[in-house]
Chain A
Amino acid sequence: MAAIIETRNLTKIYGGKVKALDDLNISIEEGEVYGLLGPNGAGKTTTINLLVTRIAPTSGTAIVNGFDIVKNSLEVRKSIGVVPQDLTTDEDLSGYENLKMVSQFYDVPAEEAKERIHKLLAMVSLDDVKNRLVRQYSGGMRKRLELIAGLVHDPKILFLDEPTLGLDVTTRTQMWKYVREIQEKLDVTIILTSHYLEEVDALANRISIIDHGKVLATGTSEELKSNLKGDIILATMKTDKDAETLMKYPGAIEAKENGPRAVRLKVQNSDEELPKIIQYISGNSLSITRLTVQKPTLDDVFLEYTGNEIRTEEPTDTRQEMMNLRRLRR
Chain B
Amino acid sequence: MSGLGPLTSRELKKWYRNPVSLLTGLIQPFFWLALFGSAFSKISAFGPTLLDGAPNYITYILGGVLTIIGLFTALFSGVNLIFDRRLGVLGRFLIAPIRRSSIVFSKIFASSARILVQVGILILAALLIPNGLEFKHGFTVLDALILIAAVMLVALIFTSIFTTLAVRITRPDTIFGVINLVNLPLLFVSYAMFPPGLMAGWLSDAAKYNPVSWSAEAIRTVVINGTLTASQMHSVELWLGGLAILATVLLLMAYFVSENEIRE
Interface residues of A (CB under 8 A from B): 52-54, 74-75, 77-78, 82, 84, 86-93, 97, 100-102, 104-107, 149, 327
With A77-B95, A77-B96 as contacts: A87 and B88 at CB distance below 8 Å? yes
Assess whether B89 is in contact with A78, with CB atoms less than 8 Å apart: no
* B92 contact from A53, A89, A107, Cβ within 8 A: A89
Task: From A77, A82, A101, name the one whose CB has the most chain B CB atoms within 10 angstroms.
Answer: A101
Cα distance A101–B18 in the bound complex, in angstroms? 19
Query: Is B120 in the interface zone, CB < 8 Å from A?
Result: no
Judged by a CB distance under 8 angstroms, whether B14 is at the interface is: yes
**Candidates B9, B13, B92; contact of A102 at CB < 8 Å:** B92
Contacts across chains A and B counted by CB atoms under 8 Å: 63
Complex contact A53–B95 (CB within 8 A): yes
Task: Indicate if the CB atoms of A105 and B89 lie closer than 8 Å.
Answer: no
Pair A91/B95 contact, Cβ less than 8 Å? no
Indicate if the CB atoms of B92 and A149 lie closer than 8 Å: yes
Q: Which residues of A contact B88 (CB under 8 A)?
A: 84, 86-88, 327
Give residues in B with beta carbon < 8 Å to A.
2-3, 5-7, 9-10, 13-14, 17-18, 87-89, 91-98, 264
A53 to chain B, nearest CB (A): 7
Residue of B nearest to A327 (CB): B88
Complex alpha-carbon distance, A209 and B264, angstroms: 28
Chain B residues with CB under 8 Å of A53's CB are 95
Given A86-B91, A88-B88, A107-B2, are A93 and B97 neighbors across the interface (CB < 8 Å)?
no
Of A82, A92, A107, A327, the residue contacting B95 (CB under 8 A) is A82
The answer for the CA separation of A149 and B88 in the assembled complex, in Å, is 14
- The answer to whether B91 touches A84 (Cβ under 8 A) is yes
Give Cα A86–Cα B97 distance, bound, in whole angstroms.
19
22 A-B pairs within 8 Å (CB atoms) are namely A53-B95, A54-B94, A54-B95, A75-B97, A84-B88, A84-B91, A86-B88, A87-B87, A88-B88, A92-B14, A92-B17, A92-B18, A93-B13, A93-B14, A100-B6, A101-B7, A102-B92, A104-B3, A104-B5, A105-B6, A105-B93, A149-B92
Once bound together, how far apart are the Cα atoms of A191 and B26, in whole Å? Answer: 50
CB nearest to A103 among chain B residues? B6
**How far, in angstroms, from A100 to B13 measured CA to CA in the complex?**
14
CA of A53 to CA of B14, assembled, Å? 29
Question: Hey, which chain A residues are within 8 Å of B94, CB to CB?
Answer: 54
Q: Whole-angstrom distance between the alpha carbons of A97 and B264 in the complex?
A: 23
Pair B2/A105 contact, Cβ less than 8 Å: yes
Can you name the residue of chain B whose Cβ is closest to the Cβ of A97? Answer: B13
Complex contacts, B14 vs chain A, CB 8 Å:
90, 92-93
Which of B2, B3, B14, B96: most chain A CB closer than 10 A?
A: B96
Query: Considering only CB atoms, which chain A residue lies closest to B3 in the complex?
Result: A105
